[in-house]
Amino acid sequence: MVGAGQLARMTHQAAIALGQSLRILADSPDDGAALVGADVVVGNFRSLDDLRAFAVGCDAVTFDHEHVPNAHIAALEADGVSVHPGSAALLYAQDKAAMRRKLAELGVPCPRWAPVASAADVNDFAELVGWPLVLKATRGGYDGKGVWVVESPAAAASLLATLTPSGLPAPASSEPDGGEVELIAEEKVTILRELAADVARSPFGQGAVWPVVETVQQDGICVEVIAPAPGLDEERAEQAQALALRIASELGVTGVLAVELFETPEGLLVNELAMRPHNSAHWTIEGARTSQFEQHLRAVLDYPLGSTAPTAPVIVMANLLGGPDDVTPKGIDERVHHLMAHWPDVKIHLYGKQFRPGRKVGHVTALGDDLADVRSRAQAAADYLMNGDRRG
Amino acid sequence: MVGAGQLARMTHQAAIALGQSLRILADSPDDGAALVGADVVVGNFRSLDDLRAFAVGCDAVTFDHEHVPNAHIAALEADGVSVHPGSAALLYAQDKAAMRRKLAELGVPCPRWAPVASAADVNDFAELVGWPLVLKATRGGYDGKGVWVVESPAAAASLLATLTPSGLPAPASSEPDGGEVELIAEEKVTILRELAADVARSPFGQGAVWPVVETVQQDGICVEVIAPAPGLDEERAEQAQALALRIASELGVTGVLAVELFETPEGLLVNELAMRPHNSAHWTIEGARTSQFEQHLRAVLDYPLGSTAPTAPVIVMANLLGGPDDVTPKGIDERVHHLMAHWPDVKIHLYGKQFRPGRKVGHVTALGDDLADVRSRAQAAADYLMNGDRRG
């Protein structure tokens, strides 16, 4: 697995049960997965030489993030390396313009959009969809970074003026591409809530889908995932699942595909695609018969996929986002003690990261029969771990 | 963790979620846990120097097996190392004579027994309990090794004559102690079935107990564990749990304690004690809210213990015991494919070991509502993985 963040860390856990050991390409020996893996190579995922050296002896190569240059992935494929997802599919998770174009071709419902290169382009698009609208960098965005809501022509012009390459926040554990920032504009749709339909697809073509979940966002970052999405109409849930399976198949995705959706008054619209284990399916570790990490490994190794049946009526995952202070390791440890004592059935996942404001340092999962109860336990446990006695 | 077998391997999986990384003392870099751990020290667990060097910087030291010399553990404790279980408790899992003596003191029901050093001693004991009877090496036995059923005075005399140190099978991944084989004799009780009561206890004194399970044995090796033990009288189950918690407390056990029990017409008798994660609780990985591996870590690190609630009405674990042939890695891989295709909800755990006849190379777990269905799926999956198309 290229990349050594929490996704690789949790994939390694799943690999152990399958009798495998994950080889990990890390930026640094301190990366979350590098701290726990047996076969860690420190190297640069933007270097084709490093990628080629890393791939030698791997049964399959897969990814913890979308930032590996697509041309390098194609070069590995040309070398005969089994890469999943492949470059042709991954492009649609790397480039939002390519993704929107492809989904339009397939007739998949999306917000209206247009590529834009100037303030004039944005104003033209605004004629069609009105203000405010959304500007997105086509590449390198994540967790709300690389996405801007602009209210007026003046705001759009001002943003465009600042969007030099150095103006775009660098993606996690990587350097910016160094090229020009390319943008698309999207209409700002009325969002009732956000959903995710997570599926896996193997090279053989087998697909498997987990229950559709609600992803609760705060400031563009997912803070909570509720499985299954509460009160979601069965027909709409099946529509979302079928859509995700169809996208996986039409795009030739191998591995896990997360389809982030907006639920709007007019129906479901696709927001983003991710082709790797995804935050919206962390609940599957305890909450589904097969976790997304095991399923991703099964898929990229072309094993038959596992059962996606849920293990409880309600499963809630809450992200651990670093609070405003610099808590000491001892302080965190004390909070873990309290959390374990208060909520003996809440499961903790820590990613081996330093706590920093807003940083995803782990998650917790609660399960049960009653939505309000399960949510409140997950939220309270996460809040306590992040904020200690300062919690509300 | 001292020792790098499958118990350390699965403990490392649990450690990752807790934000920890398990340091492992391995005999060889090819040991199951050494293949997947980030912090592996190759050394000799019979060397106090190696143990001391290994312990530097560990928050707590614990064990994958019982073969570390008790005096070395006491020496680590004298150095100020936090060792769990401690030497005083672990003695009772290392020495069957000491265990029987201590349990008798506590009034815990056990088979009648006596230390024996000669054929005459055995014959004296037989006067009391009759033939056949059971002879056991006080140290180093496991999986039916170091245990002999003898039918007559002649058989006992013949066995005693052969029991030189080299006559005792060496314990897994260790050398024999080199000393004389010490023996105890035990009455051969009428066993209706074998049960296990698995608990954890923290240094703080908190105890937690999983449902009592039935352990199905073949040739002295556990082949299947059924949770909860089918048809077990509620009162007897509670008695077994209370007994296990009491033993943990009276012996000062920290970490997981497995109490292996005989169910006899006269009630429950204690067979063996193990003070580490144990085969009888592998089902807890999927089948309990807190797995024995997470619980063992919580206990030895003195965290509050997790919920032991089961996640399904019936959970069955079947061991993967290497079949009679030398199957190739490719052959195993094909079987894994078939297993995953036929039983998408059976969970596989492979230990990274070469398949050899009778060797525990992994286990599978099935869950569900119906005992017969869950058992048949677990057994069929295990049988297929071990025997391929030669299965019955």
Residue A390 has a pLDDT of 64
Q: Is pLDDT of B167 > 70?
A: no
Q: Which residue has the higher pLDDT, A17 or B355?
A: A17
Q: Does any CB of chain B come closer than 8 Å to the CB of residue A129?
A: no
Q: pLDDT tens-digit profile of A67-86? A: 999 999 999 999 999 999 99
Please name the residue that has the structure tokens 């509720």: A226
The pLDDT-based confidence of A166 (bands split at 50, 70, 90) is: very low
CA separation for the pair B97, B117 (Å, rounded): 12
Residue B181 has a pLDDT of 76
Window B:273-292, CB contacts with A under 8 Å: 289-290
Tell me the shortest Cα–Cα distance from A16 to chain B, in angstroms: 7
Q: pLDDT tens-digit profile of A376-390? A: 999 999 999 998 876
Among the partner-chain residues B312, B344, B367, the one whose CB lies closest to the CB of A304 is: B344
Query: What b/e sequence results for B196-233 when a residue is b if at least 16 CB atoms lie within 10 Å of its CB, and e otherwise?
Result: bbbbbbbbeebbbbbbbbbbbeeeeebbbbbbbbeebe
Q: Is pLDDT of A164 > 70?
A: no
Residue B175 has a pLDDT of 39
> A67 with A140: CB under 8 angstroms?
yes
Strands A255-264 and A23-26: unpaired
Residue A178 has a pLDDT of 44
Q: Does any CB of chain A come closer than 8 Å to the CB of residue B28?
A: no
Residue whose C-alpha is closest to residue A9's, from B352, B82, B119, B15 = B15
Q: pLDDT tens-digit profile of B241-272? A: 999 999 999 999 999 999 999 999 999 999 99
Contact between chains at B12 and A306 (C-beta distance less than 8 A): no
Output helix, strand, coil percentages for chain B, rounded to the nearest 5. 35, 25, 40
Which segments of chain A belong to CATH 3.40.50.20?
6-83
**Mean pLDDT, residues A275-302 taken together:** 98
Please name the residue that has the structure tokens 């024995």: B292
Q: Does any CB of chain B come closer than 8 Å to the CB of residue A61?
A: no
Q: pLDDT tens-digit profile of A104-161? A: 999 999 999 999 999 999 999 999 999 999 999 998 766 667 899 999 999 999 999 8
Q: Where are the alpha helices (DSSP H) in chain A?
A: 6-17, 48-55, 70-79, 87-94, 96-105, 119-129, 153-162, 234-251, 284-287, 292-300, 329-342, 371-387
Q: pLDDT tens-digit profile of B288-315? A: 999 999 999 999 999 999 999 999 999 9
At residue A168's C-alpha, the angle toward residues A164 and A173, to 5°, is: 135
Contact between chains at B344 and A12 (C-beta distance less than 8 A): no
Q: Is pLDDT of B392 > 60?
A: no
**Amino acid letter for position A209:** V
Q: Is pLDDT of A290 > 90?
A: yes
**Mean pLDDT, residues B68-88 taken together:** 98
Contact between chains at B13 and A10 (C-beta distance less than 8 A): no
| Most A CBs within 10 Å, among B1, B12, B13, B16, to test the A interface | B16
Residue A172 has a pLDDT of 39
Contact between chains at B36 and A35 (C-beta distance less than 8 A): no
Phi-psi group of A170: left, alpha or beta (phi > 0 → left; psi -120 to 50 → alpha; rest → beta): beta
Residue A170 has a pLDDT of 41
Q: pLDDT tens-digit profile of A170-210? A: 443 333 444 567 999 999 999 999 999 999 999 999 999 99
Strands B360-368 and B347-350: antiparallel
> B214 with B225: CB under 8 angstroms?
yes
Any residues with CB less than 8 A from the CB of A143 and at least 6 apart, and which? Answer: A220, A221, A222, A360
Residue B145 has a pLDDT of 79
Q: Is pLDDT of B172 > 70?
A: no
CA separation for the pair A357, B237 (Å, rounded): 49
**Mean pLDDT, residues A45-54 taken together:** 98
Which tokens in the block code for residue B275?
A: 């003070």
* CATH (residue range A6-83): 3.40.50.20
Chain A residues touching B10 at Cβ < 8 A: 16
Distances (CA, A) of B289 to A111, A121, A229, B211: 41, 55, 23, 12
Chain A residues touching B15 at Cβ < 8 A: 36
Contact between chains at A340 and B305 (C-beta distance less than 8 A): yes
Distances (CA, A) of A234 to A192, A269, A284, A312: 17, 17, 20, 18
How many A-B residue pairs are in contact by the CB < 8 A criterion?
107
Tell me the shortest Cα–Cα distance from B168 to chain A, in angstroms: 31
Please name the residue that has the structure tokens 């033990």: B229
Q: Is pLDDT of B14 > 70?
A: yes
Residue A165 has a pLDDT of 47
Torsion on CA atoms B8, B11, B17, B18, rounded to nearest 10: -100
The pLDDT-based confidence of B39 (bands split at 50, 70, 90) is: very high
Query: To which H or E segment does residue B50 belong?
Result: helix B48-55
Evaluate whether the domain defined by B193-390 bears CATH number 3.50.30.60: no
Which segments of chain B belong to CATH 3.30.1490.20?
112-187
**Mean pLDDT, residues A268-293 taken together:** 98
Which segments of chain B belong to CATH 3.30.470.20?
193-390
Please give, one letter per residue, the 3-state secondary structure of A234-284.
Answer: HHHHHHHHHHHHHHHHHHCCCEEEEEEEEEECCEEEEEEEECCCCHHHCCH
Structural class in CATH, domain A193-387? alpha beta
Tell me the shortest Cα–Cα distance from A344 to chain B, in angstroms: 4
Structural class in CATH, domain B112-187? alpha beta
**Amino acid letter for position A341:** A
Which tokens in the block code for residue A90?
A: 């991954």
The pLDDT-based confidence of A220 (bands split at 50, 70, 90) is: confident
As a whole-number percent, the residues of chain B with pLDDT over 90 amount to: 85
Q: Is pLDDT of A368 > 90?
A: yes
Q: Which residue of A has its CA nearest to B312?
A: A311
Q: Maximum CA pair distance of chain A?
A: 59
> A271 with A264: CB under 8 angstroms?
no
Q: Does any CB of chain A come closer than 8 Å to the CB of residue B336?
A: yes
Q: pLDDT tens-digit profile of B85-135? A: 999 999 999 999 999 999 999 999 999 999 999 999 999 999 999 999 999
Return the half-sphere exposure (C-beta side, CA atoms, 13 A cut-off) of residue B117. Answer: 1
As a whole-number percent, the residues of chain B with pLDDT over 70 amount to: 93
The pLDDT-based confidence of B151 (bands split at 50, 70, 90) is: very high
Prior bond to B132 cis, omega within 30? yes
Contact between chains at A350 and B311 (C-beta distance less than 8 A): no
| Most A CBs within 10 Å, among B11, B13, B36, to test the A interface | B36
Contact between chains at A344 and B306 (C-beta distance less than 8 A): yes
Among the partner-chain residues A15, A309, A350, the one whose CB lies closest to the CB of B345 is: A309
Q: Does any CB of chain A come closer than 8 Å to the CB of residue B93?
A: no
Q: Maximum CA pair distance of chain B?
A: 59
Distances (CA, A) of A245 to A197, A274, A291, B270, B343: 9, 13, 17, 54, 22
Output helix, strand, coil percentages for chain A, rounded to the nearest 5. 35, 25, 40
**Global pTM value:** 0.94
**Mean pLDDT, residues A310-332 taken together:** 89
Q: How many helices (H) and strands (E) does chain B have?
A: 12, 15
Average pLDDT, chain B: 93
Among the partner-chain residues A17, A19, A304, the one whose CB lies closest to the CB of B341 is: A304
Q: Is pLDDT of B348 > 70?
A: yes
